[in-house]
Amino acid sequence: GIPAPSANNNPLGYKFSWSPKSVLLALLNDAKYINNGKPQVIPEEQLLLNTEQVQFSESLTLEGYPNRDSTNYVERYDIGHAKKVLRGTLRYQGFAEILQSCKELQMLDQQKTVAKQWAGKSWTDYITSKSPGSLDNFLEQKPSLVTQALNWLGITDHSAIIGSTETMLDAFCELLISKLTYAEDEADMVVMQHQFTSTTASGETEFRTSSLILEGDPQGFSAMAKTVGTPAAIMVDMILTGQVSQKGVILPLSKEIYVPMLAELAKEGIHLTESISINA
């Protein structure tokens, strides 16, 4: 989830529509995926350095980076023959560069002793102590958008104060919550894209994309709430009306579940748009 274009009004290009701390913790995990048929690992310190552009339309180009362990999908979807399997996170361009700088300045540190030491002091003093050489030298080596973001957060002018929290990550989370919250008249947006590259029986290369772009309603449900809550509600109805014969904790991988589920989601305005192109 990201802000709708009309609500994309801060240097980070992001606002919280779900668990703030989980957003940050996800940046501290290694990423695993399949490339050229073999497992690959991206260490967490390099995670945000491995971004790719993802174009949804002429007016919407996002950046994506790997998200945790994608190798689980190989067996789950029975695609052991696939040469590349990768699940990623989508953000507005620049987000990864900014958060990578925050990681380098140890703003996502999880040592409790460090947080106690800096409670009540300014973020400026903290990151100055963590920047190699000097903070000015550090920022000079970064794109201007990093400086703009840190300035906007109040991190470079002593205005942002570190709270009394267990870790610096928690303190940073508190700071972001105070700055990256949706106003009552602002909408979030859920974006998702599946990309498939395959070879046809005649030897042609087929490119297929399935894309979802859904904006929330400031006077109603957010896009995040709608896309998470609606499938759950539909599933409850399917169970109560006897449409599901399987028992226990199950994944929606059988036609018995996903065919009626997708049909009901489409009625609620949640559907993917597909495009196909073929190169000889």
Give 107-123 pLDDT, tens digit per residue: 999 998 899 999 999 99
Query: How far is CA 207 from each of CA 85, 90, 160, 272, rounded to the nearest angstrom?
Result: 15, 20, 47, 16
What are the residue boundaries of the structural domains of the chain, listed by start? 2-179, 188-279
Q: Is the pTM higher than 0.85? A: yes
Question: Please, what is the average pLDDT of the chain?
Answer: 94
Give 7-58 pLDDT, tens digit per residue: 999 999 999 987 889 999 999 999 999 999 999 999 999 999 999 999 888 8
In CATH terms, the fold of domain 2-179 is Dihydrodipicolinate Reductase; domain 2 (3.30.360)
Helices (H) and strands (E) in the chain, counts: 10, 9
Name all contacts of 76-81 with Cβ < 8 Å and 24+ positions apart.
76/251, 76/253, 77/253
Give 210-224 pLDDT, tens digit per residue: 999 999 999 999 999
